[in-house]
Structures are given as C-alpha cells and as structure tokens.
Structure 1
Amino acid sequence: MSDPTDRAAGPLPVQITRLDFDIEWPPKHAAAYVIETPDPIVIDTGNPDERAETTIRDGLAAQGYELGDVNAAVVTHPHSDHIGQVPLLREAGATVYAPSAVLEQLERDPDDLANGVRDIGMSAGYRGEAVEREIERAQDSLRRNRQLLEPTDAVGFEFGDSFEAAGLEFEPVHTPGHQIHHASLAVTVGDQRILFSGDALIEPFRPGAIHVGIDYGAYEAVDAFHEAMDRLEGRSFDRVFPGHGPVFTDSERAIEHTRNELESLTADTLEAVVTIGPATPMELTRNRVGEVRHPAQLLDTLGALGTLERRERIEYVDHDGVREYAARKAPL
C-alpha cells in the first residue's frame, strides 16, 4: 500500500490510496485504488485469493475504513487480477459498476466460446489435445469471471457516456487491445484531471495484446491497441493510476512508448515470417521469443500477424484450418 502523490503534479485534493496485490504471472503484482471521498470508491479489486482479501481489508483499515464503508467498486476490465474481490465488496454493500459490454460478454454461451477457441487455436497451430486444453481453460475462465463479476448484480455503463458513482462523475474511454471491452476511467478530482488506466496504459512496459484471448478477434488485437492509444492521445491528465507499474504523470510519453512497442512487436513478427515462413503462428512465436511460457506471447503474435496482413506485408495459406504465413509477394 502506498500514497501515489507526485510532486510534479502537486497534491491531490483527496487521498487516493494504492493497494498492491501479489499475482502469480508477470508482472507479479496488480494494483487497485481507494478514492477517499466521504463515500469511498474502489477502482479494481485485486485477485481472487485469501491474501488479496486480507490486502483489501488491511488497506481499508489503515485508512480508517471498514468494508461496509465502501460505496462503489468500479471495474476497468474482467481479468481475474482486477475483479477478484468484487464479491467481497458487493456482499459488504458496495454497488459494482462495469462496462455494459463486459457484462454482456460474461453471458456468452460456453459452446460458442468453444467454437471460437477451436477455430482460432487450430489456425495458430494447436493440435489435438492442446486445442481441447485451451477450450477447457477458456470455459473455466468464463465460469470463474461470471461468478466474480455476476452480470445481474452489477450496474453497466456505456462507453462515451459519463456515469456517476458515489458523487464522482467518470468518463469511460473504450481502450481495447489488452481486453476487448476495457475501460479507462477519466475523472476530475478537485482541480486535477486523472485517469485510472487499468491495463491499457502502463509505464514503463506495454501490456500484452490479449484482447479476446484465443478466440474470434485475436488477429485484431494490435490494431485495437492502436485504436486505444488514438482515443487517449491528446487528452490532458495530471496523473495516471495504472493497474500495474508505478503511478505516472506523463501520459503522452507512455502512449508514445506503447505505440513504439507495438511497432517493434510488428517488426519482429515480420522478421520471423521472412526468416522461417511459411510457418504457423505458433512456430513464428517460438522464433520470436524462444520457448512459449505464457499465452500472451502467442496472442501478441496473432495480433501482429493480423496487422501485417491488413498492411499487405504478409499473406497466409489455410491448410485444413491451420494458417501458414509467408511474406507477401510483390506484384510483377
């Protein structure tokens, strides 16, 4: 837990306390924030384990609050390290807010999800039991997230329409790429404009282009991330509170860094295609990063391949549902 007040931006008129949670996957931590207005608001809620519950309880207690004092919990996106303690806060009386598109997504038919994972997993180079494992993983994730962020027990908000929670007016900005229905939350506190950026904008690293996971739309992830940066660029924020990494003040520098990292990913993927193509996305990922340790590494590749195809730099041949990419031949 820390006080993210930054001297460059000046003191905030209300305290915003950061709660840090340990997670098992990189970057090994996640952050939530308590806006200490008369009716406290929690932005994101950490992961779903007992340690995270203790973090929430102890963090609130250190600021003189109990769980029942929290008026609202606002969710940026439905990954487990951000919605893990939603049930705890909801049961204590907090109103839960989340993007309406997220709540609709959580109602998806598991069989439809299986079809998406099967088609895209096969296209990427998964075989046999590996495809079935990915389907099981995706369906388990859907069931878990639906239990954590129960759609019928949350208030949905629309992108582009401001909404009020506990006396503060939030502007949800649609920032896909890391997650297809991700919301970055712009809000004015006193005389300062701040952004709760979730996993859309982080310093000093780029979040994975997870977007939809292994599912229909995976090849659109990098383009979607660029669209997210388009929506944030040119806005003025005094301070940005991300879901990982430190609080920062220079949002334009973080946007530029994210764009540069996306372009580096795209260039590296093109180099892999030129070097070993025709090749499947899985083979290209191994060429790019070595051993594939995390699904995000493959998902980055899928997103970059989609971008390169739309830029007419590469093309693929479909072999019974499996894509093999090669550099696009120049016209005669």
Structure 2
Amino acid sequence: MDDPTEQRTTAVTTQVSRLDFDIEWPPKHAAAYLVEEPVPILIDAGDPQDRAEATIREGLAAKGYDREDVEAVVVTHPHSDHIGQVPLLREAGATVYASRPVLEQLERDAADLADGVREVGRSAGYRGEAIDREVERAQSSLERNRRLLAPNEAVAFEFGEPFTVAGREFEALHTPGHQIHHASLATDLNGERALFSGDALIEPFRPGAIHVGIDYGAYDAVDAFHRAMDRLEGRKIDRVYPGHGPVFTDYEGAIEGTRSALESLAGETFEAVASVGPATPMEVTRHRAGEVRYPAQLLDTLGALGTLEGRDRVQYRERDGVRHYSVRKASP
C-alpha cells in the first residue's frame, strides 16, 4: 500500500515548438518559438506576408491552439521578419512585450531620421537620387514597424532586469550590433538555461552588422557587436534558440565564431582599403564583396571601417561630406 505521507512530484516539461517562415532575403527563412506553457508565449512573430499569417495559424493548430490562446508575444528586435504577425496576435488578445528603447525608437521623428540617412549615406558614397531612395526606404521602414509593433499598445521591459510573462521569468540582455536595441532573452527551461537569441547569436553564420541601418551610429556597428559578445560571454547557457539557423548547444563556440567572423570582416575591409584607397565606403564594399545587392553588405563595411579607425589602422579625409578612406601610415 502506498504511504499516504509520501511526497510525490511530477516534472512538468515545457515544450518549445519552432515556427519557420519563408522570407525573400538571405538567409531566406526566419524562426519564431512557441513556448507551450499552460498559457502559450510566442517569441517573435515572423514576417508581414500573407503566407506568414498562414504559418502562424497552421503552426498553432498543429499544437492544438488557436491564435486567441497565445497569452503574449515577446519581441527580440524590431526587424520586419520578427514582428510581422504581431498585429494578428495582438488583435486576438495577446499582450506584446518589447524593450523600452525599441518602443522609444519607434516614436522617432521622421525628419530627424531623414537627416541621419542623408548625412551617413552621403559619407558612404551615395549621391543624388540614391540618397533620396535610402531616405524613403528608412522612413517607410519606420512607419511599417511603428504600425506592426504599435509602441503605445506594448508593454516595455528593461535591459538587465528580470521581467515576468505569463508566469515565466526572462532576463533581457542588451545585444546590439545586428540591431541597436536587440534583446536576447534568457530563461530556465526544463532544467536548462535557455537563450532566445534572435539575430544576435547564430551558429552557422554571422548575422549582418545592420545596427542602425544607414543612420547616425552606423560606423559603430562592429564595435557594438563585440560589446554584445562581451555581455553573452561567460554565462551558463545550455541551449540557444536563434532567429535563423538551427537550435544549438555550443554556446561558447558560437560566441567565438561570431568574434572570429567579425575580425575576418575587419581584415577583409582593411585589405580592400589598402588595395583601392583612398576610397569611399561604397567603393571599399564593391572591392570587398563585389556587386552591392543588399544594404547589409555596405553596413558591414561601415561598421568595420569604424572599428579599424578606432584601432588606428585606417583614416579618412572628408570632401563635400564624403569619406575617403586610406591606410593609416605608421609613425616613424
């Protein structure tokens, strides 16, 4: 006969289901994660396309949920492939969480953004209509992201402070570089320390150093990425759920790989400057990467040039607002 005084506990396993979204630009996919608590939580929310809405609905249905069952959506960063279906879930009753700086960023004055794009775009080598196109692109992205994330309807969390969503505690780590206000979310999960890393830490490749886009602060992108790795390094993380690429367990290896890739980018950029300088950042990018098909290629260059300048390896002269980089000569 069982002893009625015996204490028995049953371990409750929290399932994490991955939702994969097809996107139009490299790496051609993005991931969100359904944390299957008694009230489900979604980490990120795919892109804005109609097919992404179908992915959300079908992914939830496969686990026995409707969209109305999702209690909360927690956003790692405000890129469209991670916040695209936030309105679908918000309208169904989910509470949306994002870092306070992200919500403040979405309230930015469009004219100030235009000034930043024009100044930095010109410094990089854009001219005339090309600058106008970049201004239009940036303002359109701001308007779209403001509509998708709706800062006045979201709950803010702070970096470095724990916050609780539907009974689950998260620690928000500030991990810039890919996006200036990017949050990586650490939590205890099934006896492990898990990290929802968004686009800050991915095992098979280094995410682009997009940071702020073509705007004030673009030349800080690679240094910012290193600061993100500084914040991640030394933590006990058992499993990482990234925004692209597979779930992985080699946490320290991914940090080391990211640092190595950033140093390779800096080295390639230095070699390009040495080969073609004095040269604009756009010219350096073409020499380093070939045809510039995606803004991320130029943004990588801007971030690398900022790092190289800080290390006294390159310098630039500015003519009519355009930067022309050359290798800094060693002092005799």
* Fold-level similarity (TM above 0.5): yes
1:93 matched residue in structure 2: 93
Does the alignment pair 1:77 with 2:91? Answer: no
Note the alpha carbon deviations across 1:11-45, whole angstroms, 9 max, x for none.
99211000000000000000000000001000000
C-alpha distance in 2 between matches for 1:222 and 1:73: 29
Using structure 2 for the length normalisation, give the TM-score: 0.96
Note the alpha carbon deviations across 1:143-185, whole angstroms, 9 max, x for none.
0000000000000111001100011000000000000000000
Does the alignment pair 1:158 with 2:169? Answer: no
Aligned residues: 322
Does the alignment pair 1:25 with 2:25? Answer: yes
Runs of 5+ in structure 2 lacking a partner? 1-10
User: Quick check: 1:14–1:37 contact (8 Å CA) kept in 2?
Assistant: yes
1:234 matched residue in structure 2: 234
C-alpha distance in 2 between matches for 1:65 and 1:257: 37
Identity across the alignment (%): 72
User: Quick check: 1:285–1:297 contact (8 Å CA) kept in 2?
Assistant: yes
Any idea what SS the aligned residue of 2:326 has?
Answer: strand
1:313 matched residue in structure 2: 313
C-alpha distance in 2 between matches for 1:242 and 1:189: 15
Paired amino acid for 1:247: V
Greater radius of gyration (CA): 2
Paired amino acid for 1:297: Q
User: Quick check: 1:75–1:98 contact (8 Å CA) kept in 2?
Assistant: yes
C-alpha distance in 1 between matches for 2:15 and 2:172: 21
C-alpha distance in 1 between matches for 2:322 and 2:76: 34
Paired amino acid for 1:213: G
Paired amino acid for 1:51: R
What is the aligned-residue RMSD (CA, Å)? 0.9
1:263 matched residue in structure 2: 263
Using structure 1 for the length normalisation, give the TM-score: 0.96
Runs of 5+ in structure 1 lacking a partner? 1-10
Q: Shift in Å at residue 120 of structure 1? A: 0.2
Does the alignment pair 1:184 with 2:175? Answer: no
C-alpha distance in 2 between matches for 1:251 and 1:294: 29
Q: Write the mapping of 1:250-289 to structure 2, written as runs, cut at 5 A.
A: 250-289=250-289
C-alpha distance in 2 between matches for 1:100 and 1:12: 32
Which 4+ runs in 1 deviate beyond 6 A?
Answer: none
2:148 matched residue in structure 1: 148
Q: Write the mapping of 1:42-121 to structure 2, written as runs, cut at 5 A.
A: 42-121=42-121
Q: Shift in Å at residue 60 of structure 1? A: 0.5
Paired amino acid for 2:186: A
Any idea what SS the aligned residue of 1:226 has?
Answer: helix
Any idea what SS the aligned residue of 1:38 has?
Answer: coil
Q: Shift in Å at residue 190 of structure 1? A: 3.2
C-alpha distance in 2 between matches for 1:12 and 1:293: 48
Note the alpha carbon deviations across 1:44-66, whole angstroms, 9 max, x for none.
00000110001001100100001
Note the alpha carbon deviations across 1:49-95, whole angstroms, 9 max, x for none.
11000100110010000111100100000000000000000000000
User: Quick check: 1:281–1:301 contact (8 Å CA) kept in 2?
Assistant: yes
C-alpha distance in 2 between matches for 1:59 and 1:130: 40
Paired amino acid for 2:45: T
Does the alignment pair 1:34 with 2:39? Answer: no
Give the stretch that moved more between structures: 12-21 or 178-187.
Answer: 12-21
C-alpha distance in 1 between matches for 2:50 and 2:134: 27
